[in-house]
């Protein structure tokens, strides 16, 4: 007998999130309350299916027998599913609390992307696996749950901060460069994952993004980088349209700034508890509460970034754009802590890892990818400051 009810629910939830995303985008485009309500309704439905997926997976693990039953949070597939679930949960709370549906278009794609990625990713098993002896501890549940709620709060802060940056765009300056680069990079990654998906039959045993950026063929690689450059250019040209579409909602930027801060104020204690419970557990399992394992180190790096955010904000008066940029960087660090460490580095949190070795082509790829991002933001800044200078000169010469 196959225990696959949970996978069916998972598929339905993923599809529902896709529809929710489309309706939220439609809500942004047409500003129709009815469309917004449908989007929320679909989100609730998807969340229910997702909850059912996790619940049935839990139940099914006990049906297998042989002492295999456990809460489904112990391999990469299960943890990613839980991650998307917590993001949607926190999003629903924020939507309800602030009576605002415009964030949906930014948060739902993250949930949809997480679910799709984990469903199609190579080398990720979707089977219910028995717990290895090291994971048999009640600390597992406390550690994973607090860490994930923290990650989810940071994810919502990320979405809201991006929106803050978009709405507060006045000129095509470096901040404009920053948010269009973020959206551009996200778009490129989505397309690359879709390309991986399109070549699904022979994807087994390959790296992520092997269909594009990390293709054995140099021509495909060059083409991929060219597409990345083109997408950044398109973002530069059309980003301003997105800004005016969003601007029509007259969402208060003070409110966005506040939600961006409050979600971090929620996530930071959760991350702290997540790190500490991890240390307590490590001390119980290996007798060392801190071993500078890559996962531990990256969680500390994330903690440092958000601690810097809180200090800059609470005592140095950083708010608005600068705080939003820091929040976005914080979330990059979260993503790397959660996924990058498992997929690229080796260490003790080896669930879903690609083996004990550092994935050699991944690091150059990441560096070049980040370099594109940085060069693009730099170019935006140069264009903006030189155009302002010439505008100033013109004004002077006209006088």
Positions that interact with other proteins (CB under 8 A)? 65-68, 130-134, 136-137, 139, 254, 257-258, 261, 265, 268-269, 272-273, 276, 279-281, 283-290, 292, 294, 297-298, 300-301, 304-305, 307-308, 310-319, 333, 341, 345, 358, 360, 363
Residue-wise DSSP of 158-186: HHHHHHHHHHT--SSSHHHHHHHHHHHHH
Cβ atoms of 119 and 149 within 8 Å: the answer is: no
Using only C-alpha atoms, the chain has a radius of gyration, in whole angstroms, of 22
Q: How far is the CB of 93 from other proteins (least distance, A)?
A: 16
Q: How far is the CB of 86 from other proteins (least distance, A)?
A: 20
Can you say whether residue 205 is alpha, beta or left, with left for phi > 0 and alpha for psi between -120 and 50 degrees? left
* Closer residue to other proteins (CB): 48 or 68: 68
From 373, 385, 372, select the one nearest 178 (Cα to Cα).
Answer: 373
From 3, 41, 190, select the one nearest 49 (Cα to Cα).
Answer: 41
* Closer residue to other proteins (CB): 136 or 171: 136
Q: How far is the CB of 21 from other proteins (least distance, A)?
A: 29
Q: How far is the CB of 160 from other proteins (least distance, A)?
A: 13
CA–CA distance, 218 with 368 (Å, rounded to integer): 15
Residue-wise DSSP of 254-281: HHHHHHHHHHHHHHHHHHHHHHHHHHHH
* Closer residue to other proteins (CB): 46 or 340: 340
CA–CA distance, 240 with 183 (Å, rounded to integer): 13
Q: How far is the CB of 134 from other proteins (least distance, A)?
A: 5
Q: How far is the CB of 50 from other proteins (least distance, A)?
A: 28
Give the tokens for residue 8: 């069916």
* Closer residue to other proteins (CB): 5 or 68: 68
* Closer residue to other proteins (CB): 237 or 363: 363
CA–CA distance, 91 with 362 (Å, rounded to integer): 32
* Closer residue to other proteins (CB): 46 or 267: 267
């Amino acid at each position: 007998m196959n225990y696959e009810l949970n996978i069916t629910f998972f598929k339905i939830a993923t599809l529902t999130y896709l529809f929710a995303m489309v309706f939220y985008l439609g809500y942004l485009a047409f500003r129709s309350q009815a469309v917004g309500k449908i989007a929320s309704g679909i989100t609730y439905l998807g969340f229910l299916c997702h909850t059912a997926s996790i619940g049935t997976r839990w139940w099914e693990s006990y049906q297998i027998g042989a002492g295999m039953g456990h809460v489904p949070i112990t391999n990469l597939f299960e943890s990613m599913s839980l991650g998307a679930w917590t993001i949607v949960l926190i999003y629903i709370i924020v939507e309800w609390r602030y009576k605002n549906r415009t964030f949906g278009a930014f948060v739902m794609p993250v949930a949809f992307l997480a679910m799709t990625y984990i469903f199609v990713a190579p080398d990720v098993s979707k089977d219910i696996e028995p717990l290895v002896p090291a994971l048999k501890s009640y600390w597992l549940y406390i550690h994973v749950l607090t860490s994930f709620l923290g990650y989810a709060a940071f994810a919502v802060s990320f979405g809201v901060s991006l929106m803050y940056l978009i709405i507060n765009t006045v000129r095509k300056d470096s901040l404009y460069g920053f948010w269009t680069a973020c959206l551009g990079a996200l778009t490129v990654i989505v397309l690359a994952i879709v390309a991986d998906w399109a070549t699904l039959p022979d994807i087994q045993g390959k790296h992520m993004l092997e269909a594009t950026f990390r293709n054995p063929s140099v021509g495909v690689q060059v083409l991929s980088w060219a597409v990345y450059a083109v997408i950044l250019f398109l973002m530069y040209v059309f980003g301003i349209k997105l800004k005016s579409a969003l601007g029509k909602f007259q969402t208060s930027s003070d409110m966005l700034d506040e939600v961006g801060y409050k979600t971090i104020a929620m996530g930071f204690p959760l991350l702290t508890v997540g790190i500490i419970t991890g240390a307590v557990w490590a001390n119980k399992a290996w007798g060392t509460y801190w071993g500078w394992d890559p996962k531990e180190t990256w969680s500390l790096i994330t903690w440092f970034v958000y601690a810097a955010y809180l200090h800059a904000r609470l005592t140095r008066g950083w708010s608005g754009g600068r705080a939003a940029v820091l929040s976005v960087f914080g979330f990059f660090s979260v993503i790397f802590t959660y996924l990058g460490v498992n997929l690229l580095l080796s260490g003790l949190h080896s669930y879903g890892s690609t083996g004990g070795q550092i994935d050699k082509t991944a690091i150059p790829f990441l560096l070049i990818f980040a370099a594109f991002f940085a060069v693009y933001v730099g170019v935006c800044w140069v264009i903006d400051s030189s155009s302002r200078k010439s505008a100033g000169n013109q004004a002077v010469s006209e006088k």
